[in-house]
């Protein structure tokens, strides 16, 4: 969920068929690195190498671009979470802990600035389309984790899912606040204890 390195020079003009992807790729990098409001439309247009009219053809308002950016981030981060869970094996209890390996990967990346959705929520007013999209993402992640908790036989899958997503979000925030790579390890260990306590299995330490 971390974009490529720092902004480069103004890109050459790009064919119209590739313009939307070029704009979105540039926004993905700048929004994450600089923030939604600090990254201006003129900068995104210049660095993506498209005409202003082309930009507004695809994204009539800045919020339209922000929503497309969040959609792309959602796909990347959700894919990483699912891949980490799948790598832990077929047991849903193991997957509930294994998904935290995605946190370790994210926090160790160059340019890591925390959760793009938490950052976006902090910059958007409640009730706006952008804020609602951030809430929807968090609800979707929690619903998926709740499903795993139910499959694992948790007596209260809602509570376990809520606890695990709080740990996940805390790990995402800690990874940028203190830049300590051990935050992800601690988050995974906490998740393992929560899952064990919920399922009544031996504490994994």
* Tens of pLDDT, residues 144-173: 999 999 999 999 999 999 999 999 999 998
Record the pTM. 0.86
Helix extents (H) in the chain: 16-34, 41-48, 52-58, 62-87, 92-98, 101-107, 116-122, 129-152, 157-177, 182-199
What's the half-sphere exposure (Cβ side, CA atoms, 13 Å) at 167? Answer: 26
- DSSP 8-state symbol, 148: H
Contact of 184 with 104, CB cutoff 8 Å: yes
Task: Give residue for tokens 């790598």.
Answer: 87
Give the torsion through C-alpha atoms of 81, 37, 6, 83, to 10 deg: 10
Distance CA 103, CA 181 (A): 10
Per-residue pLDDT of the chain (205 residues; tens, 9 = 90+): 444 433 444 444 445 468 999 999 999 999 999 999 999 999 999 999 999 999 999 999 999 999 999 999 999 999 999 999 999 999 999 999 999 999 988 887 778 888 999 999 999 999 999 999 999 999 999 999 999 999 999 999 999 999 999 999 999 988 777 767 788 899 999 999 999 999 988 766 5
């Amino acid at each position: 969920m971390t974009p490529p390195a720092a902004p480069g020079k103004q890109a050459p003009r790009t064919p119209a068929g590739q313009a939307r992807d070029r704009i979105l790729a540039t926004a993905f990098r700048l929004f994450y690195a600089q923030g939604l409001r600090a990254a201006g439309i003129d900068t995104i247009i210049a660095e993506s190498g498209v005409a202003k009219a082309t930009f507004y053809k695809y994204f009539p308002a800045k919020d339209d671009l922000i929503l497309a950016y969040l959609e792309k981030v959602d796909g990347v981060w959700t894919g990483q979470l699912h891949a980490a869970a799948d790598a832990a094996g077929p047991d849903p209890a193991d997957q509930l802990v294994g998904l935290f390996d995605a946190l370790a990967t994210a926090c160790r990346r160059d340019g890591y600035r925390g959760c793009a959705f938490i950052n976006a929520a902090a910059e958007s007013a409640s009730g706006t389309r952008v804020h609602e999209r951030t809430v929807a993402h968090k609800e979707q992640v929690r619903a998926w984790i709740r499903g795993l908790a139910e499959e694992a036989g948790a007596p209260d899958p809602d509570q376990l899912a809520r606890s695990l997503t709080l740990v996940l979000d805390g790990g995402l925030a800690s990874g940028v606040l203190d830049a300590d790579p051990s935050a992800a390890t601690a988050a995974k260990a906490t998740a393992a204890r929560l899952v064990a306590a919920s399922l009544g299995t031996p504490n994994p330490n």
